[in-house]
Amino acid sequence: MTLARGSEKSYASPTMTLSRREFLAGVSAIGAVWLTGAVSCRENTASDADSHAAEPLATDGAPKLVHFSAEDAADVEAITARIFPTDETPGAREAGVVFFIDRSFTTFAADQADFFADGLRNLNATVATLHPGISRFANLSDEQQDSVLRSIETTEFFDAIRFATIAGMFALPKYGGNKDYIGWKLVDQQSVMEYEPPFGWYDHPDNQRTLLGRVL
């Protein structure tokens, strides 16, 4: 008994047996965290990821596309920028998340490229229906984009691109996104790998004395 590869989409439903909501609720149990990956990956993922990482960004320092057309990339970038908008802080656009997603389809998510392309095509069909005369998501205003995304929020494609956007926002920069650790800075996850206490408010000795009457 073997399932067709097409039914295993990490960017789509993260698990085959749990609903997305159940998955999200359960992901913090150590267990479920691997489940995302468990249905996603081709053989040799680690070495793929390494070679993926080793690809030069481009001689002039600007990243280049390896999978998407410029038009598709513009749409994907626009979607990621609605998931992590640029507001008081940088978002997915500044983090270069589109380049992470682009590369993923030549590496660890290669088997999902067709699924993703279909989703993008369907999205633009929706755009054309809702907004006659406009054929690409990227050409809509921010408000129109949000409205279109809300209309597809429960689809596998939206789950997939949201998953991919979050992955690209927080994966190590070597994978193509999270440029200059923009994603990490968003939540104050540091790229320095050493800390000395106190780590936060509660373990500060003064606050320990207030809370516990002593310092542990």
- Residues of span 104-133 touching other proteins by CB under 8 A: 108
Half-sphere exposure at residue 189, Cβ-oriented, CA atoms within 13 angstroms: 12
Q: Pick from 2, 59, 69, 154: which binds other proteins (CB under 8 A)?
A: 2
Q: Which of residues 136-155 bind other proteins (CB under 8 A)?
A: 146, 149
The structure tokens 């793929």 sit at 48
Q: By CB under 8 A, tell whether 65 contacts other proteins.
A: no
End-to-end CA, the chain? 55
The structure tokens 């479920």 sit at 32
Helix (H, G, I), strand (E, B) or coil at 108: coil
Q: Pick from 70, 129, 133, 188: which binds other proteins (CB under 8 A)?
A: 188
Q: By CB under 8 A, tell whether 202 contacts other proteins.
A: yes
Nearer to other proteins, 54 or 187 (CB): 187
Total residues at the site for other proteins (CB under 8 A)? 75
**Which span sits near other proteins by CB under 8 A: 57-65, 113-121, 130-138, 206-214?**
206-214
Q: By CB under 8 A, tell whether 167 contacts other proteins.
A: yes
Q: By CB under 8 A, tell whether 195 contacts other proteins.
A: yes
* C-beta neighbour count of 39 within 10 angstroms: 17
φ, ψ dihedrals at 92, nearest 5°: -60, -30
Nearer to other proteins, 114 or 146 (CB): 146
Q: By CB under 8 A, tell whether 91 contacts other proteins.
A: yes
Question: For every residue of 159-187, which 3-state class applies, written as one string?
Answer: HHHHHHHHHHHHCCHHHCCCHHHHHHHHH
Q: By CB under 8 A, tell whether 93 contacts other proteins.
A: no
Q: Pick from 54, 62, 69, 196: which binds other proteins (CB under 8 A)?
A: 196
**Which span sits near other proteins by CB under 8 A: 57-65, 67-75, 129-137, 184-192?**
184-192
Single-letter residue type at 24: L
Least distance CB 135 / other proteins (angstroms): 24
Q: Which of residues 19-48 bind other proteins (CB under 8 A)?
A: 21-22, 24-43, 45-46, 48
Tokens of 102: 């682009």
CA–CA gap between residue 111 and residue 77 (Å, rounded): 21
Cβ-contact 190, 183 below 8 angstroms: no
Cβ-contact 101, 175 below 8 angstroms: no
Nearer to other proteins, 70 or 193 (CB): 193
